[in-house]
Structure 1
């Protein structure tokens, strides 16, 4: 397969910035993550966690460089689709307590790896596609989702839902690490004589 000459590639800084934006757009377009941030499932700093999340994905890959590889130098291994998908799923569990069991993580990983491959060649089709989708959707569905949280009438709905979730979480935590309760006193077993009469024992 023909490779693009190093001299004809856009500057490494441009390619790196485009890739980083593509990752950010891909994560903002991921419904599972959007819902998690909207509901603060990652805590009050859920939005900041999403930005940090994008940095984690970008850091999986080495930065682009304008310096051509030395002759005979071993090529830097890039993370593949499966690696990226695993990190996406793991961070969702670790940081947002969300187990994504559909194929959406695979789709996001596919977009990220495609953008990475294209940016390396100085092509930005996937990155532009993600940006267009982000711009179109951000003005509609995502904004509306966040407005629900800000709306006063909706606030009560979210609060009631959250309080219910908190109760559920508390129950889960208590079941995992229950406080050692004092053992209840055992009721004396009634003694029945041969004639069928129950012997009454006096409480101490």
Structure 2
């Protein structure tokens, strides 16, 4: 049987290890993902850089992030050019070709609409978090609030006398896929937490709950 001193020492070592793991694991994973993304970007962009413009050709060394940097500069330049009349005309011409191409036009329009919705400054999509009863009454699920029902969906719901909200229900612990659901507005509980805090709560499986201060009651 181990003595109390040995048990205490083992407990301290275990606690120290867990503390170090909590500090090192997120840092190591973040660094690994960052360099993996840089390597992925370099593998796509660097092969298309002419040798005379590639510093690696002259210095015979690998420069991490060169491809990513060039891609960011190129995207920024394209965004600048598109704002003028000539650039806009070129983009419209390219889009007209894509819009005449079967299959490709559907994919392009869908992706463009998604990026415009997500990146638009005035967009309110996924800026709020809520709770809905799912999958059964009395059981609540965390959802990201997208927008109010629009178009034909809004018309159909109005015929039923209901005001519906589109929400995204992600799974745990990897919220990269999920369910798009339309729920009655009165059955949606809107939370104060930010989407970032909600993502942390989902990824941690409910272990990392955001801090919350109750709003003062106004009499």
Aligning the two structures, in what range does the TM-score lie when normalised by the shorter sequence? under 0.3
| Greater percentage in strand | 2
- The two structures have a TM-score, normalised by structure 1, of 0.26
| Greater percentage in helix | 1
- The two structures have a TM-score, normalised by structure 2, of 0.24
* Greater RCO (Cα-Cα under 8 Å, separation 6 or more): 1
* Higher radius of gyration, 1 or 2: 1
